[in-house]
Amino acid sequence: MTIVSGKAEARRRLQSARPDVLRKMWEHRADYAYVLPAIAVMLVVIAYPIYYTIELSFFNTPPGLQLRDKIFVGLNNYTAILTSPVFWQVTLNTLIWTAASTFISFVLGFAAALALHRDFFGRGALRAILIIPWVISAVAASYIWKWIYHSDFGIIGAVLVELGWASRPPNFIDSVSTVLPSLIVVNIWREFPFAMIMMTAGLQTVPEQLLRAAKVDGANAWQRFWHVTFPHLRNVSTVTILLLAVANFNSFIIPWIMTGGGPSNASHIWITHIYELAFGRQRWGVASAYSVLLFIILMTLGYFYVRALSGNERKDGDA
Amino acid sequence: MTRSTLGGAVLRGTVSTALMASLMSAPALAAPPVDLSKWSPEYVRSIAGTQDFDTAGDCAKVTPLDYKGRLTFWYQGVFEGDPDLLRQYYKDFFETFRKTYPNIQLEEQALTYNDLLDKFRTALLGNAAPMAVRLQILGGTEFASKGYLQPLKPEDVGYSTEDFWPGAMKAVTWDGVTYGIPTNNETMAFIWNADIFKRAGLDPDKAPATWDDVVKYSKQIHDKLGIAGYGLVARKNAGNTPYRFMPQLWAYGGGVFDEATANPTYKDIELNSAQSKAALQASYDMYVRDKSVPVSALTNQQADNQPLFLAGQLGMMISHPSDYNVMLDLQKKATGTDKDKAQTVIDNMRYGLIPTGPDGKRAVVFGGSNIHILKPEYVEGGKVDEPAAKAIICMWTSPEWSLKMAYAGSNPGNLNGFKTKWMKERLDSIKFLDVTTSMLPYGIPFPALPQSPEIMNIIVPDMLQNALTGAMTVDQAADDAAKKVKDLMGGGL
Q: Over the stretch B426-452, which tens digit does the pLDDT of each residue have?
A: 888 887 888 888 888 899 989 988 889
B43/B478 Cα distance (integer angstroms): 41
Same structural domain, B134 and B263: no
Same structural domain, A97 and A235: yes
Q: Evaluate whether residue A68 is within a structural domain.
A: yes
B346/B312 Cα distance (integer angstroms): 10
Interface contact A176-B125, CB threshold 8 A: no
Q: Evaluate whether residue A174 is within a structural domain.
A: yes
**Residues of B whose CB is below 8 A from A73:** 493
Nearest to A63 among B296, B299, B454 (CB): B454
Same structural domain, A68 and A179: no
Same structural domain, A219 and A274: no
Same structural domain, B378 and B288: no
Closest chain B C-alpha to A212 CA, distance in angstroms: 56
Q: Evaluate whether residue A246 is within a structural domain.
A: no
Domain count, chain B: 2
Parent domain of A174:
89-241
CB of A247 within 8 A of CB of B284? no
pLDDT, residue A13, reads: 67
Mean per-residue pLDDT, B340-360: 90
Does residue A245 surpass a pLDDT of 60? yes
CB-based contact, A80 to chain B, within 8 Å? yes
Interface contact B147-A169, CB threshold 8 A: no
Domain count, chain A: 2
Q: Evaluate whether residue B276 is within a structural domain.
A: yes
- Which chain B residue lies closest to A62 (C-alpha atoms)? B491
**Residues of B whose CB is below 8 A from A67:** 125
| Cross-strand bridge partners of residue B75 | B110, B134
Same structural domain, B440 and B467: no
The per-residue pLDDT for range B286-318, each reduced to its tens digit, is: 999 999 999 999 988 887 888 888 888 999 999
Interface contact B299-A286, CB threshold 8 A: no
Q: Evaluate whether residue A175 is within a structural domain.
A: yes
Mean per-residue pLDDT, B458-486: 95
Same structural domain, A51 and A105: no
**Residues of B whose CB is below 8 A from A175:** 469
B219/B222 Cα distance (integer angstroms): 5
Closest chain A C-alpha to B279 CA, distance in angstroms: 19
B197/B212 Cα distance (integer angstroms): 16
Same structural domain, B343 and B459: yes
Q: Evaluate whether residue B3 is within a structural domain.
A: no
Does residue A3 surpass a pLDDT of 80? no
Q: Evaluate whether residue A159 is within a structural domain.
A: yes
Interface contact A60-B491, CB threshold 8 A: yes
Residue-by-residue DSSP string for A280-313: IS--HHHHHHHHHHHHHHHHHHHHHHHHHHHHHH
Closest chain B C-alpha to A280 CA, distance in angstroms: 7
A interface mutation test: which of B174, B236, B464 has the most A CBs within 10 A?
B236
**Residues of B whose CB is below 8 A from A174:** 295-299
Contacts with B104 (C-beta within 8 Å, 6 or more apart), sequence order? B67, B68, B69, B70, B71, B97, B98, B385, B388, B391, B392
* Higher pLDDT among residues B372 and B171, named by residue: B372
CB pairs under 8 A between A and B: 98
Interface contact A281-B458, CB threshold 8 A: yes
CB-based contact, A260 to chain B, within 8 Å? yes
Same structural domain, B210 and B358: yes
pLDDT, residue A168, reads: 85
What radius of gyration, in Å, describes the C-alpha atoms of chain A?
Answer: 26
The per-residue pLDDT of chain A, averaged, comes to: 88
Please report which helix (H) or strand (E) contains residue A80, including its range.
Answer: helix A76-83
pLDDT, residue A315, reads: 58
Q: Evaluate whether residue B13 is within a structural domain.
A: no
Interface contact B465-A263, CB threshold 8 A: yes
Of the pLDDT bands very low, low, confident and very high (cuts 50, 70, 90), residue A311 is low
Q: Evaluate whether residue B5 is within a structural domain.
A: no
Please report which helix (H) or strand (E) contains residue A127, including its range.
Answer: helix A123-135
Half-sphere exposure of A95 (CA within 13 A, CB side): 6
Same structural domain, A66 and A185: no
A160/B314 Cα distance (integer angstroms): 21
Mean per-residue pLDDT, A245-273: 92
pLDDT, residue B286, reads: 97
Of the pLDDT bands very low, low, confident and very high (cuts 50, 70, 90), residue B413 is very high
**Residues of A whose CB is below 8 A from B471:** 176, 263-264, 266
The per-residue pLDDT for range A141-197, each reduced to its tens digit, is: 999 999 999 988 889 999 999 999 988 889 999 999 999 999 999 999 999 999 999
Same structural domain, A208 and A178: yes
Q: Is the ipTM of this complex over 0.95?
A: no
pLDDT, residue A120, reads: 86
Q: Evaluate whether residue B472 is within a structural domain.
A: yes
Same structural domain, A68 and A99: no
Same structural domain, A133 and A231: yes
CB of B373 within 8 A of CB of B389? yes
Three-state secondary structure readout of chain B: CCCCCHHHHHHHHHHHHHHHHHHHCHHHHCCCCCCHHHCCHHHHHHHCCCCCCCHHHHHHCCCCCCCCEEEEEEEECCCCCCCHHHHHHHHHHHHHHHHHCCCEEEEEEEECHHHHHHHHHHHHHCCCECCEEEEECCCHHHHHHCCCECCECHHHHCCCHHHECHHHHHCCEECCEEECEEEEEECCEEEEEHHHHHHCCCCCCCCCCEHHHHHHHHHHHHHHHCCEEECCCCCCCCCHHHHHHHHHHHHCCCCCCCCCCCCCCCCCCCCCCHHHHHHHHHHHHHHHHCCCCCHHHHCCCHHHHHHHHHCCCEEEEEECCHHHHHHHHHHHHCCCHHHHHHHHHHHCEEEECCCECCCCCECEECEEEEEEEECHHHECCCCCCHHHHHHHHHHHCCHHHHHHCCCCCCEECEHHHHHCHHHHHHHHHCCCHHHHHHHHHHEECCCCCCCHHHHHHHHHHHHHHHHHCCCCCHHHHHHHHHHHHHHHHCCCC
pLDDT, residue A300, reads: 86
CB of B185 within 8 A of CB of B413? yes
DSSP-derived 3-state class of residue A206: coil
Chain A stretch 129-148, residues whose beta carbon is closer than 8 A to a beta carbon of chain B: 146
Same structural domain, A141 and A268: no
CB-based contact, A173 to chain B, within 8 Å? yes
Same structural domain, B343 and B461: yes
pLDDT, residue B346, reads: 86
The per-residue pLDDT of chain B, averaged, comes to: 88
Closest chain B C-alpha to A64 CA, distance in angstroms: 5
Same structural domain, B401 and B322: no
B270/B260 Cα distance (integer angstroms): 11
CB-based contact, A86 to chain B, within 8 Å? no
Same structural domain, B108 and B172: yes
Q: Evaluate whether residue B68 is within a structural domain.
A: yes
The per-residue pLDDT for range A9-21, each reduced to its tens digit, is: 766 666 666 668 8
Q: Evaluate whether residue A28 is within a structural domain.
A: no
Same structural domain, A167 and A275: no
Residue type, B232: L
Residue B98 CB neighbour total at 10 angstroms: 14
Same structural domain, A45 and A152: no
Contacts with A10 (C-beta within 8 Å, 6 or more apart), sequence order? none
Closest chain A C-alpha to B170 CA, distance in angstroms: 18
What does each C-alpha distance from B308 to A151, A262, A305, B297, B489 come to in angstroms? 12, 22, 49, 12, 39
Same structural domain, A285 and A185: no
Question: Taking Cα atoms as reference points, which of A199, A300, A181 lies closest to residue A240?
Answer: A199
CB of B156 within 8 A of CB of B381? no
Parent domain of B148:
18-187+366-444
pLDDT, residue A139, reads: 94
Cα angle: B374, vertex B380, B385; to 5 degrees: 55
Same structural domain, B273 and B351: yes
Does residue B46 surpass a pLDDT of 60? yes
- Which chain A residue lies closest to B297 (C-alpha atoms)? A174
CB of B186 within 8 A of CB of B367? yes
> Could you tell me the CATH number of the domain that includes residue B268?
3.40.190.10
Q: Evaluate whether residue A15 is within a structural domain.
A: no
Q: Evaluate whether residue A114 is within a structural domain.
A: yes
Contacts with B413 (C-beta within 8 Å, 6 or more apart), sequence order? B164, B165, B168, B181, B182, B183, B184, B185, B368, B369, B370, B397, B402, B406
Same structural domain, B278 and B217: yes
Same structural domain, B44 and B84: yes
Mean per-residue pLDDT, A41-46: 88
CB-based contact, A109 to chain B, within 8 Å? no
Same structural domain, B244 and B222: yes
Contacts with B187 (C-beta within 8 Å, 6 or more apart), sequence order? B364, B365, B366, B367, B410, B411, B436, B437, B439, B440, B442, B443
Does residue B11 surpass a pLDDT of 70? no
- Which chain B residue lies closest to A68 (C-alpha atoms)? B125
Helices A76-83 and A284-318 cross at an angle (nearest 10°) of 80
> Could you tell me the CATH number of the domain that includes residue A158?
1.10.3720.10
Interface of B with A (CB under 8 A): 1, 118, 121-122, 125, 142, 145-148, 228, 234-238, 294-299, 308, 311, 313, 450-451, 453-454, 457-458, 461-462, 465-466, 468-471, 488, 491, 493
